[in-house]
Amino acid sequence: MSQKSQGSVLLEVDDVSKEFPLKYGVVDAIAKRPKRSVKAVSNVSLQIREGETLGLVGESGCGKSTLAKTIIGLLRPTTGRVVFAGQELTALNKDQLRESCKSIQMIFQDPYSSLNPRMTVRQLLREELLYHKVVPEDQVEPEIEKLLKLVGLDVVLADRLPAAFSGGQRQRIGIARALAVRPRLIIADEPVSALDVSIQAQIINLLIDLQEQLNLAILFISHDLRVVRYISDRVDVMYLGSIVESGDTEQIYETPAHPYAKVLLDAAPSMSSDAVLETEAAVLGELPSPIDLPSGCPFHPRCPYADERCKTEVPRPRQVGTDHMVACHYPLTY
């Protein structure tokens, strides 16, 4: 799969941070409390090449969805740049962003709330095709048929409301909606976590097929490590708003270098019979609050290998193999 990684860089996220200021009331001002904020994403950099799938994994609340929304323009980053196909999205104003955002589309997590309950599939796709003038008006109906066929839905279903569909079918509609404007990058934010396992495989395979047919790049966000391994060419592991390890999927799964990545992978249930949870694999404590980030390495309060240096010094990302980066002072396997 790694031969796909040879394409040119399509999306570049450069040192992006996103903070949400907390409510600062009159009482806080009188008490002269410092202004506080939730640091959802801090200094994240990543790259996606044309036609490749990048998996983004991490536990709930680590900033994966915030990062996705920042890339797609639903949120503005506090600092940093998002560059897509040579164009700096973060420098565009609202109207310019509206025009360019067609090239990046999103597949949402919850198929039950991601479709307008009062629009039939046909109305939904029709509005989109006409609004962006994807095809001439007389070509809209054939285009709708083509899109539905592409995602494996029967055209006779086009005049039904979302309530008439199952979760898997709705997710297919969501994919058709994302594809209608002919994007080059799809951000799939936990696209299968709300679906039954049997349906998950169908949707994942559909995404892989579509990627090959249409040369799509995919940013695949999930907490399900098996699914990520199956679909991704490269993987980024996120912890508390930072990317702690990134690289080729197999390398990371076989030889994780960051203690957090190792814990995450060991904690995933395995099909093999000798899978016994090692005692050292258990993570200590709870995820720290993103309001008061730990000093130094964000993982040090829970890391079994942490020492004084980890408490004070933020680890810089460093190369530990071909296409394998880790942000840790003491990488495990090297």
Partner 1 sequence: MSQSDDKGFKADATPTPAGEAAAELAATAEEASQPEKRLSPFRRSPSLLVGTIIVAFFVLMALFPQLFTSGDPYALDGSQMLLPPSADHLMGTDNFGYDIWTRVVYATSLDLIIGVASVSLPFVVGVLLGLLAGYYGGKLDSIIMRVLDCFVAFPFMVLAIAIVAILGSGVRNLIIAMWVVSWPEYTRLVRAEVLVAKQSEYVQAAKTLGYSDLRIMFRHILPNVISSSVVYAASDVVMCIMTGAGMSFLGLGVPQPTPEWGAIISGGKSFITTAPWISILPGLMMAVVGLGLSLVGDGLNDLLRTKD
Contact positions vs partner 1 (CB under 8 A): 69, 72-74, 97-99, 101-102, 104-106, 108-110, 112-119, 127-128, 131-132, 159-160, 162-164, 174, 177, 181
Q: Which is nearer to partner 1, 22 or 275 (CB)?
A: 22
**Residue 161: what are its φ and ψ, rounded to 5°?**
-85, 160
Question: What is the rounded distance in angstroms from the CA atom of residue 288 to the CA atom of residue 264?
Answer: 16
**Which of 78, 83, 72, 77 lies closest to 48 in space, CA to CA?**
83
Q: Which is nearer to partner 1, 119 or 140 (CB)?
A: 119
Residues paired with 310 in a beta bridge: none
| Residue 327 Cβ vs partner 1, minimum distance, rounded to whole Å | 30
| Residue 154 Cβ vs partner 1, minimum distance, rounded to whole Å | 13
Q: Which is nearer to partner 1, 89 or 303 (CB)?
A: 89
Q: Which is nearer to partner 1, 4 or 102 (CB)?
A: 102
Q: Which is nearer to partner 1, 139 or 166 (CB)?
A: 166
CA triple 92-241-279, angle to 5 deg: 160
Question: What is the rounded distance in angstroms from the CA atom of residue 58 to the CA atom of residue 64?
Answer: 7
| Residue 181 Cβ vs partner 1, minimum distance, rounded to whole Å | 7
Sequence-distant (6+) residues with CB within 8 A of 327 are 242, 243, 244, 245, 258, 297, 315, 316, 317, 318
Which tokens belong to 42? 């801090």
Length of the chain equals: 334
Question: What is the rounded distance in angstroms from the CA atom of residue 51 to the CA atom of residue 212?
Answer: 8
| Residue 21 Cβ vs partner 1, minimum distance, rounded to whole Å | 13
Q: Which is nearer to partner 1, 41 or 326 (CB)?
A: 41
Q: Which is nearer to partner 1, 109 or 232 (CB)?
A: 109
| Residue 14 Cβ vs partner 1, minimum distance, rounded to whole Å | 21
Sequence-distant (6+) residues with CB within 8 A of 138 are none
| Residue 90 Cβ vs partner 1, minimum distance, rounded to whole Å | 16
Which tokens belong to 1? 């799969």
| Residue 121 Cβ vs partner 1, minimum distance, rounded to whole Å | 13
